[in-house]
Structure 1
Amino acid sequence: MKTPWIPEDQLYKAMERNEAFWSGNLTGGPLLWLTVQNQHPSGIAPVPPETDEEQWTDVAYQLAKTEHNLATTGFHADALPVHMPWLGPDQFAAWLGGDLSFSTQDNTSWTKPFVEDWADFPDFEINRNGRWWQTYWATMKASVARGKDRWTTAYPDLHTGIDALGAMRGPQRLMMDLINEPDTIKAAMAQMTRLWISVVDEVSALILPTDQGTGNWTGGWSAGRFLCLGQNDLSCLIGPDMFEEFCLPDTLACCRHADSIIYHLDGPDAIRHLPTLLAIDEINCIQWIQGAGSPLPSQWIDLLKRIQDAGKSVQVLYAGAHGGSADFGAEIDSLCSHLDNDRLFILADVDSTAKASFIMDRIRARTT
């Protein structure tokens, strides 16, 4: 990987430590992705188009915004510049026939359910001539071209599987379908797996030849296929037995199509599925998201230890409403004293270089 925004010695060390983390060979303390927004003010941010939809779909604006944001960000410790083109969490459902609506303020998109009867959709196929795939793919290609020797273009945040089915059918109706039409939903999930693999293969063919490595929305970097799984928000509505019946086959197949996997465990309602996930050898790391306004990661030490005791690494997040204003001294002291530091991934986005330096110094003091 190359980038003008990180000194060469720091860059090579960060790449080496990221790879060591995914292979289970990290030493010298936690993997630390530490960023400071607007550390290097430069130029004028691009003027956003008038409508929310244009702000999400105007490829030129998206790339200008990305370049400005990355150029002004301070990358510290093991952090690297990564950009993930996407059209929001329901983009996969849109590729299959939905129509997207956007909210820039809430940083999300959604589709109206469009499946009235699963019998009308015996086979799912991505419409690669459709507007939403064409927009996504144009943004991906533009990011790869503009990011040459500057940033990594990441795999998309793919809410496939049960989440995509929920977007297509509507969450409440899908929950009833799990009970009333289990075989239909299992067949639909198998199709989702097939399509997930096809998208990952297409994206891999685009980004791997750049030698900029890969990433995803969770942070982290690798030269190989590094993907996030667990974009199964609707799994929080079902119990462990249903998760194993409907979601586990998809999760296993997707895990086996990547080199490194981080699983997104999204809040307390997802903890019920942890025993199933910890038994999957291919999952390298569990990302714990406690939820906005919930107790900080240091208050979940027993959970984090449970993950590490099962042989997995664990990631914790401090950004925005998810702990961005935490007492980092207390957090670091607790995490570093109770957990295996070499299997800990801390991702923090902070508001000053002074705070970034404090965090790095505090971790160094706790791990040397």
Structure 2
Amino acid sequence: MGIDFDQSRWERVKQAHRAWWAGELDRPLIYVTLGGHDPGRPEPSTPRKHMAAFYDLCVPAGDIVDRWDWDLGCLRFAGDSFPHVWPNFGPGVAAAFMGAQLRATEETGTVWFHPARELDIRDIHLEYDPDNVWLRRIKDISRAAVERWQGLVQVGMTDLGGNLDLLSTFRPSEKLLYDLYDHPEEVKRVTWEAHELWWRYFDEISSVMQPLNPGYSSWYGVYSEERSYVLQCDFCYMIGPEQFDEFVRPELAASCRRMVNGFYHLDGPGQLPHLDSLLTIPELKGVQWVYGEGNPPAEHWPGV
């Protein structure tokens, strides 16, 4: 039996998403997944984990993918939904690619990134490491997934993180805020170093998955046939519009120019002062509004 999906249904999914990205779909995308499907084989011995980061590095990538395959085989996909996985190693795993320590704690369900040591902004220089254990792990899992499914399942891009969010891993946020005033050019330098590395990681991981992968997706699960990612900068919750335009918007705009369907994750009311600026980026296709924990739900924000 296996996964309850086929290429004819993929064609319908692609058609709906193609129209949605073009602004021509006369309805919202509707994702519905239901349990109760028989996967047609015994449950694998590899346990289910909330995040891929919780698997010990000695667990083969193929065993992780086999677990995902069985889990997907238990589901039915309705509406515009489709079989989809993404190797979740925590938000901003690109920081680990750049040398930060990744600490995954399954008991608390969290992943945190910490620098090997705290440095002055002027001493931070981000470099590419082709042998980074986490980059290789994600590439291995992504490769095993697309080879297993041969285009039946969409394999999403891992959560690479946002520009100043990555920088704040190496420079504590309260000190980085001072750096915006005391060392603005150094902040910009490291931001663009992170930008170039981010795109190198994105392209490397994508090259492992394409062309077998049906398309592109990330942690928020929206499908795109063409290059796409949901960008973010949670750090900008703590800065005003002028600093957003100086330190954040240029890098976001540059990233949008390097993909076809760029999206932005607007996380919480503290980011609303930046919405007007975001909407001036011509290549940005849309904004995902998240009203945030403890705030009124979506229907209370008609102006947004």
TM-score (structure 2 length as normaliser): 0.88
What do the CA deviations read for 1:215-260 (whole angstroms, capped 9, x no partner)? 1111221221021111x11111111111111111110110001111
Offset of residue 17 of structure 1: 0.5
Q: Name the SS for the 2:302 alignment partner.
A: helix
What letter corresponds to residue 55 of structure 1 in structure 2?
Y
The partner residue of 1:120 within 114, 123, 127 is: 123
Aligned to 1:170: 172
What do the CA deviations read for 1:142-173 (whole angstroms, capped 9, x no partner)? 12212313201112212141001111122222
The partner residue of 1:39 within 32, 36, 41 is: 36
In structure 2, distance between residues paired with 1:76 and 1:48: 26
Offset of residue 49 of structure 1: 8.9
The verdict on how the C-alpha distance between 1:8 and 1:142 changes in structure 2, with shifts beyond 3 A counting, is: closer
Higher helix share: 1
Aligned to 1:264: 265
The partner residue of 1:220 within 219, 222, 227 is: 222
Q: Name the SS for the 1:212 alignment partner.
A: coil
Deviates more, 1:215-224 or 1:202-211: 202-211
In structure 2, distance between residues paired with 1:243 and 1:259: 23
In structure 2, distance between residues paired with 1:202 and 1:296: 38
Aligned to 1:78: 80
Q: Does structure 1 conserve the Cα–Cα contact (< 8 Å) formed by 2:89 and 2:158?
A: no
Q: Does structure 2 conserve the Cα–Cα contact (< 8 Å) formed by 1:40 and 1:72?
A: yes
Aligned to 1:295: 296
What letter corresponds to residue 82 of structure 2 in structure 1?
L
Percent of aligned pairs with the same amino acid: 27
Equivalent residues in 2 for 1:42-57 (5 A)? Answer: 42=39, 43-44=42-43, 46-48=45-47, 54-55=54-55, 57=57
Q: Does structure 2 conserve the Cα–Cα contact (< 8 Å) formed by 1:88 and 1:107?
A: no
What do the CA deviations read for 1:190-218 (whole angstroms, capped 9, x no partner)? 11111122122223322231151111111
Note the aligned Cα RMSD (angstroms).
Answer: 2.4
In structure 2, distance between residues paired with 1:55 and 1:273: 38
In structure 1, distance between residues paired with 2:210 and 2:234: 29
Aligned to 1:276: 277
Q: Does structure 1 conserve the Cα–Cα contact (< 8 Å) formed by 2:215 and 2:226?
A: yes
The verdict on how the C-alpha distance between 1:201 and 1:248 changes in structure 2, with shifts beyond 3 A counting, is: same
In structure 1, distance between residues paired with 2:29 and 2:291: 19
In structure 2, distance between residues paired with 1:130 and 1:54: 18
What letter corresponds to residue 103 of structure 2 in structure 1?
S
In structure 1, distance between residues paired with 2:70 and 2:160: 25
Offset of residue 74 of structure 1: 2.3
Q: Does 1:25 align with 2:24?
A: yes
Q: Does 1:6 align with 2:5?
A: yes
In structure 1, distance between residues paired with 2:33 and 2:293: 20
The verdict on how the C-alpha distance between 1:176 and 1:73 changes in structure 2, with shifts beyond 3 A counting, is: farther
Equivalent residues in 2 for 1:345-356 (5 A)? Answer: none
Count of equivalent residues? 296
Structure 1 segments of 4 or more deviating over 6 A? none
The verdict on how the C-alpha distance between 1:46 and 1:254 changes in structure 2, with shifts beyond 3 A counting, is: farther
What do the CA deviations read for 1:10-64 (whole angstroms, capped 9, x no partner)? 432221011111122213x11112223x3325442644399x9652643344323
**Gaps (5+ residues) in structure 2?**
none
Equivalent residues in 2 for 1:121-270 (5 A)? Answer: 121-122=124-125, 124-210=126-212, 212-230=214-232, 232-270=233-271
Q: Does structure 1 conserve the Cα–Cα contact (< 8 Å) formed by 2:54 and 2:104?
A: no
Deviates more, 1:221-230 or 1:38-47: 38-47
In structure 2, distance between residues paired with 1:168 and 1:146: 37
In structure 2, distance between residues paired with 1:226 and 1:86: 17
The verdict on how the C-alpha distance between 1:168 and 1:156 changes in structure 2, with shifts beyond 3 A counting, is: same
**Gaps (5+ residues) in structure 1?**
304-368
In structure 2, distance between residues paired with 1:211 and 1:17: 18
Q: Does structure 2 conserve the Cα–Cα contact (< 8 Å) formed by 1:33 and 1:219?
A: no
TM-score (structure 1 length as normaliser): 0.74
In structure 1, distance between residues paired with 2:157 and 2:255: 13
What letter corresponds to residue 4 of structure 2 in structure 1?
W
In structure 2, distance between residues paired with 1:208 and 1:190: 26
What do the CA deviations read for 1:255-289 (whole angstroms, capped 9, x no partner)? 00111112111111111110111111211121111
Q: Does structure 2 conserve the Cα–Cα contact (< 8 Å) formed by 1:93 and 1:111?
A: yes
In structure 1, distance between residues paired with 2:184 and 2:142: 36
The verdict on how the C-alpha distance between 1:45 and 1:274 changes in structure 2, with shifts beyond 3 A counting, is: farther
